[in-house]
Structure 1
Amino acid sequence: MDVVVKGHHCEVSDRFRQYVEEKLARIEKVDHRVLRCEVEVSLEKNPRQHDRAMRVELTMYTKGPVLRAEASGETKQAAFDVSLDRLRAQVRKAADRRRVHRGEHSPEGLRHVNAKQTTNGNAPATEESAAEEEVRTQKFGSLTVTGDGPLVMREKTHTAKPMTLDQALYELELVGHDFYLFVDADENQPSVVYRRRGYDYGVIRLAV
């Protein structure tokens, strides 16, 4: 698994990077489908939030859904540990879903497990188990995102008639954008005209 650690308005020491890599390496034992994990550490400059000054966002790319988790704390390590616990819960739940899909087993609900453990005299489920039950899944088209990450997607559908390249350039200047999507009347292809440096333009066509 590739691990990328980035700092925003703060420095990230080699010691912290090593700590992050060692912790994340354990997740691969839970799910071998993990490909890459991005760790972004940011500093909250508001003095009133000194107890939550450090914020850590985790984005994990797998062969399945994209998993996200975030948390704040007084130190980088504290914030990372909390966000990692949340991410680990999502990884385990995603793995359970795949096993259920393959028909290997059907995981019991938290309430049923608690009741059975109480009957057997064992302690009820931990907070980590409760966190697993609260994981939220969002779906944007064919993309599935599990977790509370800051994924924002905006989708628009426009009706348009085919036009020439000259017309597309005129529309580009008219709306004031850096690019304009259109159907090229001459080539009969979805195309994008975009602004380059100076007064140059470029065209990208999609062969379908």
Structure 2
Amino acid sequence: MEIVITGRHTQIKQKFRDVVDSKMNRVTAIAPDTQRIQIVVSHEGNPRLADTAKRVEITVIAGSTVVRAEASNADEFSALDMALDKLTLRLRRTRDRRKDHRRGYAPVPLEAGHEVPPSEETADIEGDVDVENSPEAAVASELAPGESVEVQVGDTPIVIRRKLHVAEPMSIDEALYEMELIGHDFFLFVNKATNRPSVVYHRHGWSYGVFEIDTPENVKKEQEAREEHEA
């Protein structure tokens, strides 16, 4: 198993690396097939945010499965413990869910939603590409799979970020599974049943929603095709 620790605006001390090595057995105990663990430690320089000055992000890669968790605290050791607690909980849910599927577990029914919660911005470990400082350039530029662009809108603090992610179409149940793995409140995917861009998201408690997008032209074509088939 490979452990990679990266610092952003901070140096990684050997003591922290030793603590990480001693605690990662919690991960392998739950997910013995773990191949790589990526840890990113970030420092917030604003003194008003001293209580959350250190942020630790942990990403576990086990085959095609990716599980993430992050936490912030006054020091990197406390943030590591908090992030690790979240991570192990998600790993256990993943393990239990696999057992449930083998036992014939039926997924929780989804309710149709009309609102999608705002996206949770996550920092990439690598792959950012700077381009011309305009939102038009960010949207119009060609991207390779996994590549991203980030631009600031004029003199404002607004930043627009765009990334190309290539993924196979999946079912709603598979999308829910992926959403739980990365710890987000939503997950964007292509529904293989409808071939539409779709989003699954948390509503409240154990309730989920699904939101699909299509163009008026496609909806009209599908309606006409159904009417022709019924005629």
TM-score (norm 1): 0.52
**AA of the residue aligned to 2:18:** Q
Task: State the match for 2:58 in structure 1.
Answer: 58
Unaligned runs of 5+ in 1: 107-139, 156-208
**Cα distance in 1 for residues equivalent to 2:69 and 2:184:** 5
Residue 71 of structure 1 pairs with residue 61 of structure 2: no
**Cα distance in 1 for residues equivalent to 2:47 and 2:187:** 28
**Cα distance in 2 for residues equivalent to 1:154 and 1:10:** 35
Q: Output aligned runs, 1:30-69, within 5 Å.
A: 30-69=30-69
Work out whether residues 26 and 88 of structure 2, in 8 Å CA contact, stay in contact via their aligned partners in 1: no
Structure 1 residues 25 and 151: alpha-carbon distance in aligned structure 2, compared to 1, 3 A threshold: farther
**Cα distance in 2 for residues equivalent to 1:80 and 1:41:** 9
Unaligned runs of 5+ in 2: 106-166, 191-231
Task: State the match for 1:147 in structure 2.
Answer: 182
**Cα distance in 1 for residues equivalent to 2:40 and 2:186:** 14
Instruction: Tell me how large the CA RMSD over aligned residues is.
Output: 2.9
**Cα distance in 2 for residues equivalent to 1:99 and 1:70:** 26
Residue 83 of structure 1 pairs with residue 83 of structure 2: yes
How much has 1:34 moved relative to structure 2? 1.4
How much has 1:100 moved relative to structure 2? 1.3
**Cα distance in 2 for residues equivalent to 1:8 and 1:154:** 30
State the secondary structure of the residue aligned to 2:32. coil
Q: In the TM superposition, what whole-angstrom CA distance separates every residue of 1:33-82 from its partner, at most 9, and x where no partner exists?
A: 21111000010011110010000011111124211111000000011100
**Cα distance in 2 for residues equivalent to 1:149 and 1:4:** 23
Structure 1 residues 71 and 77: alpha-carbon distance in aligned structure 2, compared to 1, 3 A threshold: same
| Number of equivalences | 122
Query: Radius of gyration: which is bigger?
Result: 1
State the secondary structure of the residue aligned to 1:11. coil
Q: Output aligned runs, 1:36-185, within 5 Å.
A: 36-103=36-103, 141=169, 144-145=178-179, 146-148=181-183
Task: State the match for 1:113 in structure 2.
Answer: none
Task: State the match for 2:5 in structure 1.
Answer: 5
Structure 1 residues 12 and 93: alpha-carbon distance in aligned structure 2, compared to 1, 3 A threshold: same
**Cα distance in 1 for residues equivalent to 2:92 and 2:8:** 29
TM-score (norm 2): 0.47
Structure 1 residues 70 and 79: alpha-carbon distance in aligned structure 2, compared to 1, 3 A threshold: same
Work out whether residues 90 and 183 of structure 2, in 8 Å CA contact, stay in contact via their aligned partners in 1: no
**AA of the residue aligned to 1:36:** R
